[in-house]
Amino acid sequence: MQEPTSTEAVDVVGRYEAGQEMPERMRTDVRVLGALLGRVLAESGSEGLFDDVERLRIATIAAYTDPDPAAFARAAEVAESFSVARADEVARAFTAYFHLVNLAEEHQRVRVLRDRDGEADRPDATDTVVGAFAQLSAEIGAEAAAQRLAGLRFHPVFTAHPTEARRRAVSTAIRRLSRLLDDYDASLPQSAQSRQAERRMLEEIDTLWRTAPLRAEKPSPVDEVRSIMAVFDDTLFTTVPRVYRRIDDALAAAGGSRPPLAPSFVRVGTWVGGDRDGNPFVTADVTRQAAGIASQHVLLGLEHAASRIGRALTLDAATTPPTPALLALWEALAGADPEAAAEIADRSPDEPHRRVLLLIARRIAAARAGDAGYADPDELLADLRVVQDSLAAAGAARQAYGHVQELIWQVETYGFHLAELEARQHSAVHAKVLAELDAGGERSELAEEVLSVFRTIADIQSRLGPRAAGRYIVSFTQSAQDLANVHRLARYAVGAGATPPVLDVIPLFETFADLQAAPGILAEIVQHPEFAARLDATGRRLEVMLGYSDSSKDVGPVAANLALYEAQALIAAWADENGIELTLFHGRGGALGRGGGPANSAILAQPPHSVDGRFKLTEQGEVIFARYGDADIAMRHIDQVGAAVLLASAPSNEQRNRAAAQRFAEVAQTMEDASKDRFYALVQAPGFAPWFATVTPMEEVGLLALGSRPARRGLSVESLADLRAIPWVFAWTQARINLAGWFGLGSALEAVGDLALLQEAYRQWPLLRAMVDNVAMSLAKTDDRIAREYLALGDRDDLAQLVLDELALTRSWVVRIAGGDGLLANKPVLQRAVKLRSPYVDALSLLQLRALRGLREAPAGAPADPELQRLLLLSVSGVAAGLQNTG
């Protein structure tokens, strides 16, 4: 086999690049960043590195564009020709390239959002809160729509699941590059500003290249807490009030001169430092630290905001006279901090509103320091509203409802805790500890740790209020007793006569059987005295969590999606009949096998009354930084989700979903049965689990220092029950098979068999449409040729052929149902993103295969080759960067 000649190489790359139908400015960004990376590689001091990277790049592009097996064989030969040390460098180069392409794509998204600024607020743009409100008003009337808007709630919960393969140092470098790309974009060509931006980008790319791509050690839970704090500090703290302001301005364009119409509808939760299910490193002390770190961050942010607004509030008492309530507030604040009050009064004579707000900032600082400051956020809100009312009464409405209102929104959204810290533990742990406590005797280390969690929750609530830490999720809830056990443990923890912490105990239904049993369990638990008391105290509010990951691993993605829909419909109907305000908490991951995909389309596909203006979901791994790492993208995401939550309960949407569920009930049952049978034929085959561990880098994924939680429950993988859902999905993704996201859909559609009926269902049934579109994205990221190479690592031709047959069948049906000449034909932007990355992901996959073969071919019992192991881990990180939604 001969490599392409130089002329052929130029032609291959030229044709490929010309075929990438990307916006011209994005094409320029990719070229500029790619050229700078090439320069860094050429100057790296590693002789021939740039040429070797180009050889593999050209070969994989040729293989991607040429169906001839010889082209793929040539690319594989290039990957095999490198020494392990050179393959290591090449893998790092391709990974760096993906980081730059991802940056260019994100930059283009931001550019488009900014170019369309204003269009998004049109009343007919129903993917915005303003447009959704207009449509809802047309359907149910303005007054009823306003009531629903006032009750709107979007509650993302950040989790520390290990799917973000980038080091924080790498993420930080990319964020710096993003700002420099902004500067470059804004400068004139060949100007001093553009040359400076280019020079600094070159410096950052060089730093990125020289930064070790893999963590040396797994992060601790506290490290994970601090990593999440970066999202709040850099984006969310200031972005969320901007979302409210934008909506408020569009709803009634009055320049912030009247009380706001937009509610503070975002509440943020976190499992980071609270999720102890299967993670022995999350202790009560970690939970205490997590709450303290988050509180420090938000109080510092509130202090700075109050101080900044106060310094600018230079309104004279003659033009803006204070109300008696404001004067009384000044006296109270000055009495508590006389020295500061005297100094502020000297610097702000006849500026009563400025003086009060600066003392409010001082009192927030005292709360942060643990001195005699604000006891809780309600106390702060009361003082801020005194300032606001005084300004409004004096005719300074723009100041009252401008920055002061934004500070009020921040306090309403984040309180003194920033994110509502949720605890989670497995029901079996609770049962085991209770059995020990009931038996009496000396308490084990496990029992003491479980009880100390409840004491910690009580302590956090006493310092930061019940909102700070009051939700307790019970994993693998299988009976009402599993939920009642939490209250028993809380009473044990505080002792006889003492008051336990305020707890909202939330069942997590994860397996197929548990989802089916959920309505009966809920009907029983609400009769429990402590549950009944809590329902009464909250106005009959109840939260129920649904697990996507384990249900999908249990019965396959198709049956799991259908079971989740059915469970939601039954739970929602039960709640409606019993006068309960239900919030369904969706345990969705980033990958399709874990419930991933666009959140707004998923919301609009939910059963009637299962949303009702409230939507809560987990945000995990790389998804957190993709959705919330950039302010413009975060604003758009929150606005889109808010719009979908409003529209989900519109009569037209509920009627569409209800009619589709009835019309296609028989189709759903046929699909569920056929997909489940096909899935069981694979995963219940003798020897499946060890085969899976052989044909994917599942074992090696556990070696990556991604997160603090162990990748599996036992010491070895003898069955799927031993394996957590995240590495199950992650490993199939790395093997370019993505099985967890689509397996069984082809057989399900084949069992229905009626193309016209399925095309009608795709048009009219939102659930099927979302499922088919998500699978199309998953399939677009598969590669048959590379998948065959991974499957060949295991000595089970029967299982390999089963996978490949189902892959071909699923692809065929998805293309026919969705229409067009290939996958994602109806989603050109997504199709472009996949095509842009695919040949470069192929390059890393070939390097990973080389390493995996070497590790698999080692003599039994021999220690793993550390160089091959490192190469494999580098390629895992690179493929994750290239595919993006990995877990």
Strands (E) located in 186-289: 269-270
Instruction: Tell me the pairing of strands 471-475 and 420-421.
Output: unpaired
**Core vs surface per residue 448-485: b (16+ CB within 10 A) or e:** ebbbbbbbbbbbbbebbbbbbbbbbbbbbbbbbbbbbb
Number of helical (H) and strand (E) elements in the chain, helices listed first: 41, 9
Question: Which of the 8 DSSP states describes residue 528?
Answer: S
Q: How far is CA 643 from CA 134, 148, 485, in A?
A: 10, 12, 38
> Which one, of 729, 732, 771, 765, lies nearest residue 748 by Cα?
771
Give the C-alpha separation, 698 to 368, whole Å.
44
Q: Which residues are catalytic?
A: 161, 553
Give the C-alpha separation, 73 to 79, whole Å.
10
Residue written as token pair 């990958």: 591
Contact 34, 837 (CB under 8 A): no
Residue written as token pair 């808010």: 642
Residue ranges of alpha helices (H) inside 526-556 are 529-537, 549-555
Contact 564, 551 (CB under 8 A): yes
The CB density around residue 403, as the number of other CB atoms within 10 Å, is 21
Give the C-alpha separation, 36 to 58, whole Å.
18
**Core vs surface per residue 53-64: b (16+ CB within 10 A) or e:** bebbbbbbbbbb
- What single string gives the DSSP state of each residue in 334-379? HHHSHHHHHHHHHHSTT-HHHHHHHHHHHHHHHHHHTSS--SSHHH
Give the C-alpha separation, 340 to 380, whole Å.
18
Give the C-alpha separation, 83 to 774, whole Å.
39
Helix-strand-coil split of the chain, %, nearest 5: 65, 5, 25
The CB density around residue 37, as the number of other CB atoms within 10 Å, is 22
Give the C-alpha separation, 284 to 269, whole Å.
18
Question: Which of the 8 DSSP states describes residue 439?
Answer: H
- What single string gives the DSSP state of each residue in 32-70? HHHHHHHHHHHTSS-TTHHHHHHHHHHHHHHHHH---HH
Measured in degrees and rounded to the nearest 5, phi and psi for residue 259 equal: -55, 145
Contact 148, 646 (CB under 8 A): yes
Torsion sign, CA atoms 394, 400, 401, 402: positive
Instruction: Tell me the pairing of strands 614-620 and 541-547.
Output: unpaired
Contact 341, 350 (CB under 8 A): no
Q: How far is CA 660 from CA 136, 667, 753, 760, in A?
A: 21, 11, 18, 10
The CB density around residue 172, as the number of other CB atoms within 10 Å, is 14
User: Residue 617: beta bridge partners?
Assistant: 156, 586
